[in-house]
Structure 1
Amino acid sequence: MSNPVIDAFFLGRALAEVVGEKLEDAYTNALSELGKFDAEQRENLRAFIEEVQLRAQQSASSEYTTDSTSSQGTETSGDLQEMLDQLRAEIAELRAELKQYRN
């Protein structure tokens, strides 16, 4: 003896369970992919920052070497202080831009 109302109830309950499981799986997968994307972007940003810093160091050291050899030691401490001040200002500007980018 099959009661159509009871059959419909169990069918609806099974449907709700399956749909709930599918939604849970989709939500979990979406969060997992978002986490992977976030980690990849953070790693890419870290690598980018390291590359920029490395190039800046190389450029600064080659420029300093070129400047010091071309002037053959006639650079005064004032010029050196001015260069340090400029570098500090550039670093502060880059930090501000990075902070703005992160937010």
Structure 2
Amino acid sequence: MSNNQLHAFFVGRAIAEALYEQLEQALTNAVSEFGKFDAEQRERLREFTLQAIERANRSEETTMQGRTTAPTGQGTRYADATLGLGSPSGDLQATIDELRAEIAQMRSELQRYRSRSL
């Protein structure tokens, strides 16, 4: 082989190795960035989930406080039944019947209030 051909071979090989190293570095950076992005998205999802659960808990707490202080005197019984405290067996049908009765009572009071407003 002539000296020029040998030199061209080594130049070509050096270029291929340099390109391979740059490709490897670019791929490593891309995978690293994707990993960072994935971690950030998971953290955002976790924070969003925690915020949603916190809001739900606050809303539930506010709602339950409102029901336990109902002016009809039925709120405590409703809260106890909802929590399974009203009956030791936690009879679902009895709880549903109590809720229906309470709804009917609230409707009649609402109609009475509306008729007084007119």
CA distance in 2: counterparts of 1:54 and 1:16, whole angstroms: 56
1:88: which partner in 2?
Answer: none
Bigger mean CA offset, 8-17 vs 67-76: 67-76
Q: Describe how 1:60-75 pairs up with structure 2 within 5 A.
A: 60-70=60-70, 71-72=72-73, 73-75=75-77
RMSD over aligned CA atoms reads 2.2
Measure, in 1, the Cα distance between the counterparts of 2:28 and 2:83: 56
> Match for residue 78 of structure 1?
81
Greater length-normalized contact order (CA 8 Å, ≥ 6 residues apart): 2
How high is the sequence identity, in percent, across the aligned residues? 47
- Structure 1 residue 44, shift from structure 2 partner: 0.4
Which residue of the partner structure matches residue 52 of structure 1?
52
2:40 maps to 1:37: no
| Structure ranking higher in helix proportion | 1
Displacement of 1:4 after TM fit?
Answer: 1.5
Task: Normalising by structure 1, report the TM-score.
Answer: 0.70
Runs of 4 or more consecutive aligned structure 1 residues displaced over 6 Å after TM superposition: none
Which AA in structure 1 matches 2:77? E
TM-score (norm 2): 0.62
Distance, in Å, in 2 between the alignment partners of 1:74 and 1:46 is: 35
* Larger Cα-atom Rg: 2
Q: For each residue in 1:9-43, what CA deviation from the matched residue of structure 2 results, as whole angstroms up to 9, or x when unmatched?
A: 01111101100110110010011001101100110
Q: How many residues align?
A: 82
**Which consecutive residues of structure 2, in runs of 5 or more, have no partner in the other structure?**
85-91, 93-118
